[in-house]
Structure 1
Amino acid sequence: MEVEFHDRTMRSWKFRYCYLRTSQSFAFRSGWSSFVKEKGLKVNDTISFFLCETKARVDDDNDDKGGLLVEGAKYYSCVGLHHFKKEYVQKEVDQAVKEKGDEVIMEEAAANPFPN
């Protein structure tokens, strides 16, 4: 499946998210290496994904080329860099898979990011 995230500058990043049967794990495929290179990520860095909800104002202004203007989203970060202990993150992921199954992991991870 293709997933799309936005970083702090609201730049769009698209990754292919898939299950690897050989290692029995989930992974980001295409698009991921570009993100890693551009952000300067190193071994043991951890990426956190957050569901961003804002009280955005939507204006339907016909004077502005008849389009919709959405304000608010540009001020929030949807992808953040945090340093977590690897064991803690893996424990949380393993527990979520055990309790909920792998079908809902993406939704759960987006709705409930790992605590600091």
Structure 2
Amino acid sequence: MTTPVPVPVSAGGRELPHPRRAEIRLENVLQALADPMRLGIVRELAAAGGNELSCSQFDLPVTKSTSTHHFRVLRESGVVRQVYRGTAKLNGLREDDLDALFPGLLGRVLDAATRQADRLGG
């Protein structure tokens, strides 16, 4: 099985419903990021450097329906943007929106998650 190549966020495709920037709420973002599985997804997306990643590129130790749930929570909270390109559902971080609303939050959470993973050996 080959790994799909990340696609720049600017490429066209059919988007799923997302909250507008003005509708993103801090408590929803924090709740989405509080789950270790979702935080791991966000860390991988951040490491992709602005590229979108297909759901299938994430090696999550959960069922497909649970994986779908985690991505939906991230999308509905405003943390990620999902778009279909062909049959692939691609994910990208909404860094610009989050930084405009909550300056520095995402970067600090990701830094803290990295320090924790280093400390705990994960």
Q: Same fold (TM over 0.5)?
A: no
TM-score, normalisation: structure 1: 0.22
Q: If each structure's strand is expressed as a fraction of its own residues, which one has the higher value?
A: 1
User: Which one has the largest radius of gyration?
Assistant: 1
TM-score, normalisation: structure 2: 0.21
Q: If each structure's helix is expressed as a fraction of its own residues, which one has the higher value?
A: 2
Q: Which structure has the higher relative contact order (CA within 8 Å, separation 6+)?
A: 2
